[in-house]
Amino acid sequence: MNFDFPLILTLLTLFTGLIWVIDRLAFAKAREAAHAAKGGDPNEPARKPFLVEQSISIFPVLLIVLVFRSFLFEPYRIPSGSMIPNLLIGDFIVVNKFSYGIRLPVLDVEIWNTGRPQRGDVVVFKKPHDPNLALDPKAGVTFVKRCIGLPGDVISYDNEQLYVNGDAVHKSFQAAYIGDASNAREAGDQLYLEDLLGKQHQMLQWSSRGSSNTRGELTLGPGEYFMMGDNRNNSEDSRVWGPVPEANLVGQAKYIWFHWDWQRSGYVLGRRLFTKVQ
């Protein structure tokens, strides 16, 4: 079962806050007066109803979590290998949510434009609806990919070669990839250093298997971004479902704060703790 955590968190915050406000305005004085009339200890406040007491205790914590998660930073975990070698299965990342605009929780309405993705950014976003499917079961699922194309760019991908505005993106072979635990499934693939118009990052391509996800020339419209996984032959991205609209942006992946490979008996990779996303 899928739970809408932002909605639940927002509703709980509103509920506990309302309980606290209503009690403060309508019942607290009468309760204290009744306590005094019964000869209660003046140094001890009247006992609050259980729901009120719990709401007063929980509300500040929920409010802090809501503000922090909605407007500042949010943790995500990496469940797949589409961003190997830069993000591994088992990485837990911190996403800067004010990199690409401040949005109201649940309503997802932007209230302050704080910036937009730059070429080479590792971006977290909600997957756009696949126009090839009448009912897209993954619509609304959160993805993390690298921003390859900006509004107005012309992008194409053919025979394992990426083109931006008609120019082939340079890549240089580094070595055969060797991964740890679940990420070792990509062992033997070719590790390249790609120069994305001045921004360099590592990426993987198959060494002996055929090409995949060829994309014809696509011109990005206003507010559209072309996203690709760094594991080029094992990534569902804009080559499949097209550009990502601005409204789907969540934030920029900034740091890896923990690594726990639950698929391999809780394998922890210490050298990835508190490292910057490349």
Residues that are catalytic? 82, 145
Residue position matching structure tokens 């509920």: 15
Query: Are 193 and 214 a contacting pair, CB within 8 Å?
Result: no
Residue 99 burial (CB count, 10 A): 20
CA pair distance 151, 224, nearest whole angstrom? 5
| DSSP H stretches of helix in the chain | 5-22, 28-37, 50-67, 238-241
- Tokens describing residue 3: 């739970």
Angle at 3 between CA 253 and CA 274, to 5 degrees: 25
Give 73-104 as a DSSP string: EEEEE--SSTTTTTS-TTEEEEEETTTT-EE-
Task: For residue 17, give Cα distances in angstroms to 3, 7, 11, 28, 64.
Answer: 22, 15, 10, 15, 12
User: Quick one: which H or E segment has residue 267?
Assistant: strand 267-268
